[in-house]
């Protein structure tokens, strides 16, 4: 007896003949020719050195060896199908692990859709994310505890890490919908209008430098108090007359929501407006893995989709008066 076993295709042919008791019916089931099926079965018998079927005039019947071989073939084919099914989830996408960190600017609304998109495209990947302040994320990247981090550019970029531009988000003056000011949601403001208003800032000095470098106002425009806690800042704004200048990516919900469902009033700044650049920081070596690169791309895709939505705020509001006039003229 030849010790080599028949292949899976030959086994399927044999099983079909055994179950149909006909070479012709087996050929139809396996989309093969009758002569081809007969030849496969004959080759199995020659290889194993046993007769598997008694070929009678009108029918074929399995021998005792055929009965035994059938049971084992069914087990082998079932195991093969189970093995292939188990590998289905490993077919698409990338595998491995990626660890990265975000500040609340991205973690609030961009992380969840990006995470779902990344893990759907790469079901075999392990994705670990931490939400922390910029200085902590930089330290973790430096210690190679993270593959990369995305941080605001307000702070000085670390010279010992590789830094690349990730995105630039519009920034807004943020106040509660019940704030006593006469600012209308979406109206563009000049920085001078913030005089004597109560402003919160994560870091007074760096915050002023960021605003002054773009809006030409290096000095404080109103009473500013340092509160470097995003959730507390938002909660305080929601409950009081305090305001803050914050990146728009924190307020995607308020752009899309109906007026009655908004938590915050958002006002862009006049002229070119105010933007906050976000940076990717990573160790100089090694080169980011394909999975890390995929994570950055997906985060950028979601972020850019939201930035397009944010930039529509001022254009929609600027067109509102003309629409109102058009309705009056009609």
Residues 167 and 222 grouped into a single domain = yes
Contact 207, 199 (CB under 8 A): no
Domain coverage including residue 15: 8-89
Residues 103 and 232 grouped into a single domain = yes
Amino acid 206: pLDDT: 56
Q: Which of 28, 62, 89 is the last residue of a domain?
A: 89
More confident residue, 261 or 150: 150
Q: Which of 48, 68, 89 is the last residue of a domain?
A: 89
The CATH number given to whatever domain includes residue 117 is 3.40.190.290
Task: Give me the residues paired with residue 60 across strands.
Answer: 55
The per-residue pLDDT for range 104-140, each reduced to its tens digit, is 989 999 999 999 999 999 988 999 999 998 999 999 9
Q: Which of 62, 89, 116 is the last residue of a domain?
A: 89
**Is 1 domain-assigned?**
no
Total domains present in the chain: 2
Residues 195 and 307 grouped into a single domain = yes
Taking the complete model, does pTM exceed 0.85, yes or no? no
Residues 106 and 31 grouped into a single domain = no
Residues 282 and 141 grouped into a single domain = yes
Contacts of 196 (CB under 8 A, 6+ apart): 222, 223
The per-residue pLDDT for range 164-200, each reduced to its tens digit, is 999 999 999 999 988 888 788 888 888 777 777 788 7
Backbone angles phi, psi at 240, to 5 degrees: -145, -170
User: What is the distance, to the nearest Å, from the Cα of residue 37 to the centroid of all Cα atoms in its chain?
Assistant: 49
**Is 198 domain-assigned?**
yes
Torsion of CA 92, 93, 97, 101, to 10 degrees: -140
Residues 130 and 253 grouped into a single domain = yes
**Is 303 domain-assigned?**
yes
Number of Cβ atoms within 10 Å of the Cβ of 2: 9
What does the alpha-carbon distance between residue 145 and residue 140 come to, in Å, rounded to a whole number? 5
What region does 322 belong to: left with phi over 0, alpha with psi -120 to 50, or beta? alpha
End-to-end, the C-alpha distance of the chain in Å comes to 96
**Is 239 domain-assigned?**
yes
Amino acid 3: pLDDT: 62
More confident residue, 19 or 324: 19
What does the alpha-carbon distance between residue 327 and residue 330 come to, in Å, rounded to a whole number? 5
The CATH number given to whatever domain includes residue 59 is 1.10.10.10
């Amino acid at each position: 007896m030849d010790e080599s076993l028949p292949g899976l295709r030959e086994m399927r042919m044999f099983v079909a003949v055994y179950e149909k008791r006909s070479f012709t019916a087996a050929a139809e089931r396996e989309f093969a020719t009758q002569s081809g099926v007969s030849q496969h079965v004959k080759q199995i018998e020659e290889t194993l050195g046993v007769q598997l079927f008694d070929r009678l005039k009108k029918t074929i019947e399995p021998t005792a060896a055929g009965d035994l071989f059938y049971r084992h073939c069914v087990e082998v084919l079932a195991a093969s199908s189970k093995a292939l099914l188990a590998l289905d989830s490993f077919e698409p996408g990338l595998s491995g692990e990626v660890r990265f960190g975000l500040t609340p600017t991205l973690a609030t609304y961009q992380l969840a859709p990006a995470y779902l998109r990344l893990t759907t495209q790469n079901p075999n990947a392990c994705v670990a994310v931490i939400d922390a302040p910029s200085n902590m994320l930089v330290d973790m990247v430096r210690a190679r505890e993270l593959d990369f981090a995305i941080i605001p550019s307000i702070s000085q970029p670390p010279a010992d890490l590789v830094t690349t531009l990730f995105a630039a988000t519009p920034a807004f003056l943020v106040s509660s919908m019940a704030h006593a000011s006469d600012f209308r949601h979406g109206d563009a403001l000049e920085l001078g209008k913030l005089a004597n208003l109560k402003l919160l800032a994560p870091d007074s000095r760096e915050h002023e430098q960021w605003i002054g470098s773009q809006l030409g106002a290096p000095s404080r425009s109103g009473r500013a108090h340092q509160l470097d806690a995003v959730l507390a800042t938002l909660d305080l704004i929601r409950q009081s007359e305090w305001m803050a200048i914050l990146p728009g990516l924190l307020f995607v919900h308020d752009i899309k929501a109906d007026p009655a469902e908004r938590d915050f009033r958002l006002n862009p700044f006049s002229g070119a407006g105010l933007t906050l650049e976000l940076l990717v920081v990573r160790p100089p070596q090694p080169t980011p893995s394909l999975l890390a690169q995929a994570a950055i791309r997906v985060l950028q895709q979601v972020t850019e989709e939201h930035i397009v939505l944010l930039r529509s705020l001022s254009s929609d509001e600027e067109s509102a008066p003309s629409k109102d006039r058009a309705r009056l003229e009609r």
